[in-house]
Structure 1
Amino acid sequence: MKALLYLLLSAVTLYGWEIPKSCNQLIVGTAKSWDSSYVSVTLYERTRDGWKAATQPVTGRLGRNGLAWGRGLHPFTSSPHLKKEGDGRAPAGVFQIGGAYGVHKSIKKHRSLPYHQVTTRDLWVEDSSSPMYNRHLRLDHEPSSEWEKKAQMRQNDYPHTLKLYIGHNTAYQSRPAKPGAGSAIFFHIWRNGGKSATAGCTTLPEPQLRELISKIDPSKNPLYLLLPQAEYMKFRAEWKLP
């Protein structure tokens, strides 16, 4: 009985919500099921006539174990899966888009989109016991400890040479990142020509990733929505999705 009540309450919270009216760019990712590692990604722009596609749909890859509900702007629920560190699932829900990171001096982007050129001193902390958990950290020295080396963003791995941050479990207003709920979630270049799934990120072919990044305009409050197809259809009208 308690389990049934919890499921009902989760459904109620998910239905009493919609995409913020301030959001005028929405990246939509849909997977066939909770356990699928494949995703179709399209960028939409809000117009007077509703949402219009700004890019062609592109196939990408997700976590090797599929999806799980993440911590974002959408209402909280944990059914059927809740994202945890190391679970091999991509976070489902609605998330803010952060800045871009890459190894090149510059990239094609909107003038307002933050871009950080990554060096050997740039870390992304995935240690849930650290006060810097799920945050970018730049050292004032070359990494020397094993902890620092493990957290390095630049590790001679081509798929990670260009990234766009997805705000899952990020510190937001008065809510800190939750230890163990998952970290370091990005869009980045897919691996092995799309033959490999991820640990939780969304990966795309490099040309389509560069096109996506070039179109992101921070003034339009861009968001990323990622859901299994059945959940997308379930919430489409209520959440006012494309």
Structure 2
Amino acid sequence: MIPHKPRAVLLATSLLLTGCGAGAVAAPRDQPAAPARTTTAPPRPTATAPPLPQRLPGLGPETLAEVPAATRQAVVVTGHGKDSARSDVVLYERTGTGWKAGEHWPAHNALRGWSGHHRAGDLRSPVGVFTLSDAGGLRPDPGTRLPYDHGRGFTATGTGVEGEPLAGSFDYVIAIDYNRRPGTSPLDWTRPLGAGRGGGIWFHVDHGGPTQGCVSLSREHMRTLLRTLDPRRHPVVVMGDAASFAR
């Protein structure tokens, strides 16, 4: 590191190197020297960040009305189309100046896309705004603030809808509070709306193909989401295709 020199020393050194009288024109002895001209550099513009959105982007008034006023974390899952099995996930954090977006993560949803009236076995993910209350997994708690149920009940077996192995899919899960009782393990099978309306809708580890109704993320992104969600910030998921959001 170059030691700091006082400004006066640096200026003197510069003048010695360049020749302090080079190019100067001496005034005649019988004429006063012209007054020195001074210039003031214009102020440099200050870069300012664009203002944060006051509302969650892409959501229409009906959808926004479903987001609780106390919510400060919103996981927005936007399907690529009503019948698409692919989606994008963004975690928004509400600050004093608006909603701040995090990274965009690719995800899978149900094979046949989305439904505003999900039924058991329809191979569509439910559209709506749902709270996120509980987590769990086959692997130990990675450091989440959510209640975490760790046990062998999360062992995934068999294959997915396209024949891919499901092993490891439930290493980490976050229960989406659709047709379930918040405050219980994701493995609790209580269905307040009845068994015909489906259930067991989770965030879980991606297995390389569409799901039966859940939303799946890479292992790394699941761990990040688990560590970030904070029940004191009343997290929710907003999920569906973009057209459904716009209501």
TM-score class normalised by the smaller sequence: 0.5 to 0.7
CA distance in 2, matches of 1:227, 1:16: 13
1:12-27 equivalences under 5 Å are: 14=62, 17-27=65-75
Out of 144, 147, 153, which is 1:114 matched to?
147
Structure 1's 48 and 170: CA in aligned 2 closer, same or farther, altered over 3 A?
Answer: same
Moved over 2 A (4+): 13-18, 175-179
Structure 1's 66 and 24: CA in aligned 2 closer, same or farther, altered over 3 A?
Answer: same
Q: Is the partner of 2:169 in helix, strand or coil?
A: helix
Out of 204, 221, 245, which is 1:188 matched to?
204
- The equivalent residue for 1:32 is 80
CA distance in 2, matches of 1:88, 1:207: 26
1:109-188 equivalences under 5 Å are: 109-110=144-145, 113-119=146-152, 122=153, 153-156=154-157, 157-171=167-181, 176-188=192-204
CA distance in 2, matches of 1:118, 1:224: 25
Q: Is the partner of 1:106 in helix, strand or coil?
A: coil
1:63 paired with 2:126, answer: no
Structure 2 residue runs of 5 or longer lacking an equivalent are: 1-60, 158-166, 184-190
- The equivalent residue for 1:101 is 136
CA distance in 2, matches of 1:225, 1:57: 15
CA distance in 2, matches of 1:199, 1:161: 17
- Please, what TM-score do these two structures have when normalized by structure 1? 0.65
1:36 counterpart letter in structure 2:
S
1:216 counterpart letter in structure 2:
L
CA deviation string 1:152-193 (max 9, x = no partner): x324521111111101112479x923221011110011113x
Structure 1 residue runs of 5 or longer lacking an equivalent are: 1-12, 70-81, 123-152, 236-242
**Offset at 1:14?**
4.0
Q: Percent identity?
A: 29
Query: Is the 1:64–1:89 contact (alpha carbons within 8 Å) kept by the matching residues of 2?
Result: yes
The root-mean-square deviation of aligned C-alpha atoms, in Å, is 2.2
Higher RCO structure (Cα 8 Å, ≥6 apart): 1
Q: Is the partner of 1:198 in helix, strand or coil?
A: coil
- The structure having more radius of gyration, on CA atoms, is 2
